[in-house]
Amino acid sequence: MDFAALVSGGKDSIFAIMDAISHGYQLRAIIHLAPKESDVVTVEQDSYMYQSVGSEGIELISRALNTPLICRTISGRSVFTGINYISQSNDEVEDLFAALSAAVVRFPTLRFVCSGAIMSDYQRIRVEQVASRLGLRSLAFLWRRNQVSLLSDMLRSGLDAIVVKVASFGLGSRQHLGRTISDLQPELIRLTGPPWYLNACGEGGEYETFTLDSPLFEKRIVLRSPPELVIHSEDEYYPVAYLRLKDLDLQVAGFIVVISIPVSFFFVVCIGVRQMSRLVPVRCFSRVN
């Protein structure tokens, strides 16, 4: 029942891990596909498969989960875009195959790979294809769940995440970036109606998140300084913007609450005794070349 989890840093992949564990599966490793070093400055990477925003915080998620991290740089691109994937040597899906292959070698008891796919057949089929090639089975506990209900389930579980990217009609950089999903929940649900028709969990790429805390985390991730706002596109109706996270740290759960309303204002409120740990340089534990 051992599994590896594909983790972007967002709420869906973390909640999928929670669901898998609740069904009796045991987490052995997390796998992350990171943007190329040349793309680190811009962060935003054109990919049909992977979330690149928030990648700079993935090591802290590994530390918070107390789970080994296998990280591979994305060297490919979206070559074969048909629904039923056929292996292509320079396709970005092969980076997933290489990373998962490394996980199987390092953790030979792995039998499953878990993803946070909700609605995307494109992503689900590719994960299943890669898993099958390695003799693994795919776990997709969030698949086809009602997104409004799923978002509520995430919040009730204690998962805490902030919005790090917006790319949709109805969402704005200064109004929504940096805010928690619990704070935005009523607005996200409202935006599922006309004329926006937004996916409540952002499954259509409307927004992306970075997880700061969950019941699985031994420590909470905090922001010691405001993130940098990057405007990718200033389209009047479909603006695209994201946050570049800086000075991330780990904090003993229950001592710090991060309140992030406008992107320009991040406040840290201390509750009880502050136990600040040393700032950890962000790097991957195990990088697959």
| Domain ranges across the chain | 2-144, 147-270
Topology (CATH level 3) of domain 2-144: Rossmann fold (3.40.50)
> Residue ranges of the alpha helices (H) in 42-119?
58-65, 93-106
What confidence tier does 193 reach under pLDDT thresholds 50, 70, 90? very high
pTM, entire model: 0.85
Right CATH number for 147-270 from 3.90.1490.10, 3.90.1150.10, 3.40.50.720, 3.30.565.10?
3.90.1490.10
Is pLDDT of 249 > 90?
A: yes
CB-based contact 87:79 (threshold 8 Å): no
Q: Which residues, at least 6 apart from 191, have a Cβ–Cβ distance to it below 8 Å?
A: 170, 171, 198
Q: Where are the beta strands (DSSP E) in 95-234?
A: 110-114, 137-139, 160-167, 207-213, 219-223, 228-233
12-16, 25-29, 74-78, 133-137: which has the minimum mean pLDDT?
Answer: 74-78
Look over the chain and give the mean of its residue pLDDT values, rounded to a whole number: 87
Is pLDDT of 130 > 70?
A: yes
Residue 254, pLDDT score: 54
Radius of gyration for the alpha carbons in the chain, expressed in angstroms and rounded? 18
What confidence tier does 100 reach under pLDDT thresholds 50, 70, 90? very high
pLDDT in tens, 42-66: 455 567 888 899 999 999 999 999 9
What distance, in Å, lies between the first and last C-alpha atoms of the chain? 28
38-47, 94-103, 249-258, 263-272: which has the minimum mean pLDDT?
Answer: 263-272
Is pLDDT of 104 > 50?
A: yes
Report residue 266 CA to chain centroid gap.
21
Is pLDDT of 235 > 90?
A: no
Is pLDDT of 21 > 70?
A: yes
Is pLDDT of 146 > 50?
A: yes
Encoded tokens for 243? 């946050």
**What's the angle, vertex CA 73, arms to CA 70 and CA 74, rounded to 5?**
125
184 φ, ψ (degrees, to nearest 5) = -90, -10
Task: Name which of 254, 248, 138, 159 is nearest 201 in CA terms.
Answer: 159
Task: Name which of 124, 111, 206 is nearest 165 in CA terms.
Answer: 206
CB-based contact 85:125 (threshold 8 Å): yes
Is pLDDT of 258 > 70?
A: no
CB-based contact 49:126 (threshold 8 Å): yes
pLDDT in tens, 27-45: 999 999 999 864 444 455 5
CA distance readout (Å), 99 to 70, 96, 130 = 7, 5, 10
Residue 79, pLDDT score: 82
Instruction: Select the more confidently predicted residue: 284 or 121.
Output: 121
* DSSP letter assigned to residue 77: B
Residue 260, pLDDT score: 43
- % pLDDT > 70, the chain: 84
The DSSP bridge partners found for residue 5 are 30, 114
What confidence tier does 201 reach under pLDDT thresholds 50, 70, 90? very high
What confidence tier does 236 reach under pLDDT thresholds 50, 70, 90? confident
Residue 36, pLDDT score: 83
Is pLDDT of 25 > 50?
A: yes
What confidence tier does 287 reach under pLDDT thresholds 50, 70, 90? low
Task: Name which of 105, 89, 81 is nearest 31 in CA terms.
Answer: 105
What confidence tier does 270 reach under pLDDT thresholds 50, 70, 90? very low
CB-based contact 114:141 (threshold 8 Å): yes
Encoded tokens for 11? 């709420």
H/E stretch holding 267: strand 266-270
The DSSP bridge partners found for residue 248 are 223
For CA atoms 205, 133, 69, 12, give the dihedral sign. Answer: positive
Q: What average pLDDT does range 79-87 have in this prediction? A: 86
